[in-house]
Amino acid sequence: MSPDDDRMFMRLALAQAQVAALAGEVPVGAMVVRAGQVVASAHNAPLGDTDPTAHAEVNAIRAAAQALGNYRLDDCTLYVTLEPCAMCSGAALHARFKRVVFGAHEPKTGAAGSVLNVFGYPQLNHQTEVSGGVLAAECAQQLQHFFEDRRLQKQLHNQLHKTPLRDDALRTPDSAWQGLDLPTDLSCFTTDLPALQGLRLHWFDNLKSASTASFNALSETSFSLGSEAAPEVYLHGPDTWSAAYMAELAGPRPAIALDLPGFGASDKPKKDKAHSLAWHAQVLVEFFAQLQPAPVALYAPHSMAPLVHAAQALWTTHQREPLHLQWLNARSALTAALREAPYPDTGHRAGPRALSALLVTPPFTPHRSTGA
Per the annotation, the verdict on 83 as an active-site residue is no
Choice among 25, 57, 106, 232 that is catalytic: 57
User: Distances from the Cα of 186 to the Cαs of 93, 116, 157, 212, in angstroms?
Assistant: 45, 41, 14, 14
- Picking from 252, 250, 256, 236, the residue whose alpha carbon sits closest to that of residue 181 is 250
Report the C-alpha gap between 202 and 285 in whole angstroms.
15
What does the CA dihedral 237, 243, 244, 245 come to, rounded to 10 degrees? 110
Report the DSSP beta bridge partners of residue 170: 268
Alpha carbons within 13 A on the beta-carbon side of 314? 21
Sheet holding 323-328, edge to edge: 187-190, 201-205, 255-259, 232-235, 296-301, 323-328
Residues 171/202, Cβ–Cβ less than 8 Å: no
Q: Which residues are catalytic?
A: 57
